[in-house]
Amino acid sequence: MHSFERQIIYLLVMLVVSIPIVMKQSMKPAKMKSADTLFQMIEGLPVDHSGGAPEEIALLALDFGPNTKAENEPQAEVVIEHLLRKRIPFALLTLYAPGEGFLTSIPERVIERLQKEDPGVRYEYGRDWVNLGYRPGQALFIQTLAKSKDLRSELKKDVFGSPLKDIPLFQNIKTIRQIHFLAEFTGLVGIFDFYVQFFQQDGFVPLFGHGCTSITIPEAYIYLDSGQLNGLLEGIAGAAWYSKLLKDAFPKRPNDDALVTNTALGVAHLVIIFLIFVGNIREGYRWFVESHRHGGDAV
């Protein structure tokens, strides 16, 4: 293929994919069974209305950086939004250094959106969520966390340097047995494996949800199939379907970017399929002409 033809293809893909983004058009996403399961799982988590320090919390690991932000960020956004709406307290951390910025930006953005939707609603740092920041050590850290008899003394401080013993959300949290739900968002299978392998204590494993990138979907299915995962968000498509479920459950909720992104992605797929079709027809035609020309020469 000539370089010129390649550039035309790049331009065509960019132009076509831009249309839904410019027009802010979104189509109904395809139903994703594993995202459905994750949604129902979070719906079923116990909610403490007493207003006191929680006995159980959720833990969200945002182990992604700018390289897989396109897929993991919308996934983390919808799950965080769901937890906030349900008033399920959660802690955020990352084992991947470039992911630290997302621990602050995503909850802030989601809360801003929720407060715009309902100006009366209030979310409080330390009660509704806690940012534990970047934690080095990977497998060793997860194992230490899983074995810990006192998470507060193990984790010590949040990202702002406040001791966890002073943070209401962590007042009653001692071991990972009080983490009823674990969600991990990453495109790095290696980091995801650490949670599967080590985030358990004497047979206790929390409900486990995972947001993976499109590339790692086939590998994530292995864990879903074996029951090591309880719910899965598959790339943008999973986030878009989850977003639709949130919209159904909370009708006042405006559409978010996940639906537009998913529509643009669908358009991109159609373009790729079209190009594969055209490319094969062209190559087939070339082969046909070449073979007949040689056949003619031979005669």
Partner 1 sequence: MSWELATVVIGGFATLAIYSFLVRENPFYRFFEHLFIGIAAGFFPILVFKNFLWPKVFEPMFGFTVVTFPDGTTSAPYEPLNLLFLLPIGFGMLYYTLYSRRYSWLAKLVIGFSLGYSGGLAFKGFFAEMVPQLTGSFRSLAVFADGSFQLFATVENWIFLITLLSVMYYFFFTFRFASESAKGVSVTGRWLMMICFGAFFGSTVMARMALLVERLQFLILDWSEAMGSLVV
Positions in the binding site for partner 1 (CB under 8 A): 3, 6-7, 10, 13-14, 17-18, 21-22, 69-71, 97-98, 100, 133-134, 136, 139-140, 143, 156-157, 161, 187, 193-194, 196-198, 200, 213-215, 217-218, 222-223, 225-228, 235-236, 257, 260-261, 264-265, 268-269, 272
H helix runs in 118-164, sequence order: 139-147, 151-155
- Say how far residue 104 (Cα) sits from the centre of its chain: 16
Smallest separation, CB 101 to partner 1 (Å): 10
Cα–Cα distance list, 297 to 286, 287, 290, 294 (Å): 16, 15, 11, 5
Smallest separation, CB 18 to partner 1 (Å): 6
Q: Are 62 and 27 in contact (CB under 8 A)?
A: no
Nearer to partner 1, 111 or 261 (CB): 261
Nearer to partner 1, 21 or 41 (CB): 21
Angstrom distance (rounded) from CA 228 to CA 208: 7
Helix orientation angle between 69-86 and 33-43, rounded to the nearest 10 degrees: 30
Nearer to partner 1, 102 or 223 (CB): 223
Taking phi over 0 as left and psi of -120 to 50 as alpha, with beta for the rest, 141 belongs to alpha
Nearer to partner 1, 245 or 263 (CB): 263
Nearer to partner 1, 29 or 89 (CB): 29
H helix runs in the chain, sequence order: 3-23, 33-43, 69-86, 100-117, 139-147, 151-155, 189-198, 217-226, 235-249, 257-298
Smallest separation, CB 8 to partner 1 (Å): 11
